[in-house]
Amino acid sequence: MVEINEKVSIDGKETGIISGSIHYFRVVPEYWQDRLEKLKNMGCNTVETYIPWNFHEEKKGQFNWKGGHDVFKFIELASKLGLYVIIRPSPYICAEWEFGGLPYWLLKERGMRLRCSYKPYLDAIKSYYEELIPRLVPYQHDKGGNIILFQIENEYGYYGTDHAYMNFLADTMRSLGVTQPFVTSDGPWVEASFKNGRVEGAWSTGNFGSQVETQFKAMENYVGGNKAKMCMEFWCGWFDAWGEPHHTSDLEQNKKDLADVIKTGHVNFYMFEGGTNFGFTAGRNFGVKNADITSYDYDAILTEDGQITPKYEAFKKIISESRKIEEVPLSTKISRKAYGQLKCTAKTDLFAVLDDISKKTSSPYPLTMEDLDQSGGFILYRTRLPEYEKALSIKFDRAGDRVNVYENQKQLFATAIEDMKEAFKREDAPAGSVIDMLFENYGRVNFGPALETQRKGIEGYMILNDHLQHGYDIYNLPLDEEQLAKIDFTKGYTQGRPAFYKYEFDADELCDTFLETKGFEKGVAFVNGFNLGRYWNIGPQKRLYIPAPVLKKGKNTVIIFDTEGKEGSLSLEDSLVW
């Protein structure tokens, strides 16, 4: 039995929770055991993870619990190591993850309302929970498993005030068999936000990274002094956005804050290991300027690729002063290798293969990614001007996030939509041109009030010479394995167009490595069909992490899709560079 009163007790024994966040969905499954062993060896007795809804139900009604999606295997591995689990299965998770974990298909309904008591939204949650929650129930502590806490929603106090919605989530989980204590987590520095996120009977916990005594005192004032105190997200690092410097924390301050937390209450390190936003899973905060990078290194206790850091050693020492650490041997052999320079074996531009890899949809008005059942990646709109009209002015009504515009397959301009304060204008142009608009989804916002505005591509219209332009051929470009397999690299290449570049290399041993995209400007990289994520030469990330399990002995293939048509060179190095 798990009881939360002035103290936390498990099976009648007072227990101090020292937990670390490991997101199974940001780590290849072959490395789950390694990360959990390192967590235990630092002195933690608990692991915490979110469950992203959109990771498991990417298409409505189609659930994936296999391979890297098998959260239940992750829980079982933790159990074998004697670790408790804090599970955070709320429909919204934030986590700097695409759309905060919400599935894109919710936005197919134009009237959708999120994170509130809107029936279609609640119905979708219930359908998802009917698949997920019964699978989690057997792993609860009172059923012989190791899950000790369930989070109801995530930082809801920042978002809204619909207490009926929060109660719906709790009641639905209870009706499906959840018997363990509930928790909520919010920032305790604003009383209204902290109280907005509360649910009667749930353990109210705080998210913060400093000023421990002040934060715990505020929580005590809000919820009363007779409850145990926990920092559910002890921020010992921070995430990065494109174009920003890489964030690092002050280790001496971290050490002081950790000692204060352990002295006063319970803690969950956010993050123990950050991992990687593989594919198109990185989210963004508010605007395009806050799009998150592919690496979720977070300046965490372990590096993105699971290496032990000085922060790990320092925290381990502090933890060891209050409890005995029982270490286990590390069972997974992991090494790094620089495979060196790669050779480009073929290249072709997007326009040469467009009709091969994507079936066009024709429409008198633009359709969004969501309208066409596409989650992430790119979408291209092609429109033909009348023989009497010139494209002297172009702007967009309700579009996102970034666009490359081509006239007769020559680039006119590229811009983030939020930077396009005025229309693109010029004095003269050819008449009757074909205009191509390649839109990129930077990632739907994961935090703040803009969740319901996250449809991608063109939601309104292209506005041509101050009137609406009608008539579009639309090409979906999710760049999944099926599309990559259809690329015919013999179709031709014209410099300056969005293009695919193919590289090959041989591997005699399988090691972690890092892809350097020197000279390329912006795009996405794939290794053996596996989407490593986005790269961008504005940094701060200069290399993409490739876990060894993605490679294979013998020939390996790397494909680069550069939206700017800038050809560079590739090499595989043995470290991440900021």
CA distance 156 to 102: 14
Residues 432/386, Cβ–Cβ less than 8 Å: yes
How is residue 73 written in tokens?
A: 């295997």
Strand order in the sheet with 340-341: 340-341, 571-573, 513-516, 543-546
Q: Is the dihedral of CA 69, 70, 74, 75 positive or negative?
A: positive
Q: Which amino acid is at 242?
A: W
Q: How many CB atoms lie within 10 A of CB 159?
A: 23
Dihedral sign computed on CA atoms, order 254, 260, 261, 263: positive
Instruction: Give the span between the Cα atoms of 397 and 460, in whole angstroms.
Output: 5
Would you say 531 and 559 are in contact if contact means Cβ atoms under 8 Å apart?
Answer: no
By annotation, the residues acting in catalysis are 155, 233
CB atoms within 10 A of CB 61: 10
Q: Measured between alpha carbons, how far is 206 from 216 in angstroms, rounded to an integer?
A: 8
Supply 541's token pair.
């990330």
Distances (CA, A) of 462 to 63, 415, 429: 36, 14, 17
Residue 297, C-beta contacts closer than 8 angstroms, at least 6 positions apart: 237, 240, 246, 274, 303, 304, 576
The amino acid present at 88, given as its one-letter code, is: R
Q: Is the peptide bond before 292 cis (omega within 30 degrees of 0)?
A: no
* Cβ count near 502 (within 10 Å): 18
Segments in 30-162 forming alpha helices (H): 32-42, 53-56, 71-80, 119-136
Which strand (E) or helix (H) includes residue 561?
Answer: strand 554-562
Which two structure tokens, joined as six digits, stand for 339?
């495979």
Q: How far apart are CA 177 and CA 228, in angstroms?
A: 25
Check if the beta carbon of residue 47 is closer than 8 Å to that of residue 76.
no
Largest CA distance in the chain: 83
Distance CA 284, CA 350 (A): 27
Beta-sheet strand order (sheet of 2-4): 2-4, 8-10, 13-14
DSSP bridge pairs for 204 = 184
List the strands of the sheet with 554-562, edge to edge.
343-349, 499-507, 554-562, 522-527, 530-536
At 429 the three-state DSSP class reads: coil
Cα–Cα nearest to 573, from 279, 341, 343: 341
